[in-house]
Amino acid sequence: MYKLWSSIKKEVLLLKRDLGGLVILFVMPLVLIITITLIQDSTFKTVSDSKIPILLVDNDQGEVSKVIEKNLTESNSFEVISKPNENEAKDLVFKGKYQLAIVIPKKLSTDLQLKVNQNVNKIVADFGMEDATNVTSSEKIESKEVKIYFDPAAQSTFRNAVKSSIDKMISQIETKSIYTAFQEQLGEDETAFQQESFITFKEITPTKDNKEVIPNSTQHNVPAWTLFAIFFIVIPLSINIVKEKNQGTMIRLRTNPVSYFTVIAGKTITFLVICMVQFYLMVAVGVYLFPHLNLPALQVEGILGLMSIVALFAGFAAIGFGILLGTIAKTQEQSAPFGATSVVILAAVGGVWVPVFAMPKIMQVIAGISPMNWGLNAFYDVILRNATFLDIVPEISYLFLFFIAMILISLFYDEKKRAL
């Protein structure tokens, strides 16, 4: 036991003497979490603080284009800038000066009205309510195309969101036009048809103490990036082990009557404490600092214990990976870049950036065996799904088994290396 205690003391002293390493361990995760949450916060807000400037080329100058412009302006997401010329708008967007341009075609309002009238008249005539000869001319009306130009650098999620909004807007205009045409044909007043949507939807969120738990950017970002930061311990830990090999101290330890298990247990306990300190610092930032940055505060009331358990087991998994990497790597040049890259890959696969359900099938399968995904799910279970301890047992068990597997492989590799 004294050997283990001495190993822990030595690890703490080594960390204390490495100021740069301490900054990386404690300050960088905080910078990361604040930056990412500030950036991502707007995507979770219904009303964005920043408006995206977009170009509108109105070749229609009619009722429909006015409604589109009005809706875009009232959405509070866009700052609409009118441009008279399509080519100019296209150039500006393709050069990246603006994110998108919407071009409304000529005679959109009049042709839409004409087309709707044609259809409505035909239906009314078919019902025998009007003389078919009275039907508005049956001249062919070409369908209209609203063009959208996107900055080539615009991300697909943004493109899809914009296309979906405009599509919805146009559908509403068309529907309204049809209703209006029917009213006119039937001689009804404006109140005859209820033009509001009949089918609406309501999001039902989990409740806790009779209060709705509404996810916000903090509740998504703090667990995700906390996990990311915890896994970044792989880098200093693997460097620590590689340094011991290169300094010769590991050789000396192998000649001492101390097991490799005790040596790595000392590292595990020390770095586990660091993981927990990192975690509590990030939680403190979420709870106390975020409100001062106009970000939603992290709600940890009643769940801090469970969150701590998840962080602890995520720490185990990260440390196991770090020990394996440090045991196998021969130089810091091998361990540091590999450690950093593999953590980023684990985060991507684990669903830190893109939700797992949005990934291709093969990646979803891979995500299922990613420790970062187990940790993230456990955090989301606790923070967003009102989970109990029993609910997170599978995920934390996987994390611990991952740690055990990594340590066993390290011990096996170490043993094998000595039998060279």
Partner 1 sequence: MESPIIQIKSLSKQYRDADIFSVDNLFLDVKKGDIFGLLGPNGAGKTTLISMLCGLIKPTSGEFKINGLSYKNDSKNIKKIIGVVPQEYALYPTLTARENLEYFGAMYGLKGKDLKEKVIESLDYLGLLKFADKKIDTYSGGMKRRINLIAGILHKPTVLFLDEPTVGVDVQSKNVIIDYLKKLNSEGTTIIYTSHHLIEAQDFCNQIAIIDAGKIFAEGTPQNLISQTENAHNLEHVFISLIGKELRDNV
Question: In angstroms, rounded to a whole number, what is the distance separating the alpha carbons of residues 153 and 146?
Answer: 21
Q: Distance between CA atoms of 82 and 57, rounded to whole angstroms?
A: 6
Closest approach, Cβ 257 to partner 1, in A, equals: 4
Full strand arrangement of the beta sheet holding 147-150: 78-82, 52-58, 100-104, 147-150
Is residue 3 involved in binding partner 1 (CB under 8 A)? Answer: yes
419 binds partner 1 (CB under 8 A): yes
Q: Determine, following the binding rule CB under 8 A, whether residue 420 of this chain makes contact with partner 1.
A: yes
With CB under 8 A as the contact rule, the residue among 42, 164, 195, 247 that binds partner 1 is: 247
Contact window for partner 1 (CB under 8 A) among 57-65, 84-92, 225-233, 244-252:
244-252
**Site membership for partner 1, residue 23 (CB under 8 A):** no
Nearer to partner 1, 274 or 349 (CB): 274
The CA–CA distances, whole Å, from 357 to 219, 238, 346, 350, 399 equal: 19, 32, 16, 11, 21
| Alpha carbons 128 and 275: distance in angstroms, whole number | 78
> Of 15 and 92, which CB lies nearer to partner 1 in the complex structure?
15
Q: Which amino acid is at 100?
A: L
| Closer CB to partner 1, 140 or 416, in the complex | 416
Q: Which of 24, 30, 166, 253 binds partner 1 (CB under 8 A)?
A: 253
**331 contacts partner 1 (rule: CB under 8 A):** no
Nearest partner of 176 among 74, 66, 58, 59, judged by Cα: 66
User: At its nearest, how many Å lie between partner 1 and the CB of residue 348?
Assistant: 35
CB-wise, 7 or 117, nearer to partner 1?
A: 7
Q: Does 255 bind partner 1 (CB under 8 A)?
A: yes
Least Å from the CB of residue 360 to partner 1 = 42
> Segment contacting partner 1 (CB under 8 A): 90-98, 141-149, 252-260, 385-393?
252-260
Q: Which of 70, 168, 254, 330: binder of partner 1 (CB under 8 A)?
A: 254
Amino acid code (one letter) for 362:
I
264 with 410: CB under 8 angstroms? yes
Give whichever of 128 and 257 is closer to partner 1, judged by the CB atom: 257
Compare residues 59 and 262 and give the one whose CB is closer to partner 1.
262
Nearer to partner 1, 135 or 269 (CB): 269
Nearer to partner 1, 260 or 280 (CB): 260
Check residue 208 for interaction with partner 1 (CB under 8 A): no
State which residue, 7 or 109, has the beta carbon closest to partner 1.
7
- Residue 14 touching partner 1 (CB under 8 A): yes
Window contacting partner 1 (CB under 8 A); options: 10-18, 40-48, 201-209, 330-338: 10-18
According to the binding rule CB under 8 A, does residue 414 interact with partner 1? no
| Of the candidate residues 106, 252, 330, 385, the single one contacting partner 1 (CB under 8 A) | 252
Q: Does 257 help bind partner 1 (rule: CB under 8 A)? A: yes
Task: State the number of binding residues for partner 1 (CB under 8 A).
Answer: 24
Distance CA 243, CA 257 (A): 21
Q: How far is the CB of 404 from partner 1 (least distance, A)?
A: 23
Minimal distance in Å, beta carbon 18 to partner 1? Answer: 7
Amino acid occupying residue 20 = G
Distance of CA 371 to the CA centre of its chain: 18
Which one, 45 or 254, has the nearer CB to partner 1? 254
State the amino acid at position 258 in one-letter form. V
- Please state, in angstroms and rounded to a whole number, the distance separating the CA atoms of residues 55 and 49: 19
What do you get for the CA distance between the two ends of the chain, in Å?
A: 31
Give whichever of 240 and 377 is closer to partner 1, judged by the CB atom.
Answer: 240
Distance, CA of 308 to CA of 268 (rounded, Å) = 17
The residue within the footprint of partner 1, chosen from 256, 331, 341, 397 (CB under 8 A), is 256
Q: Which residues bind partner 1 (CB under 8 A)?
A: 2-3, 6-7, 9-10, 13-14, 17-18, 247-249, 251-258, 418-420
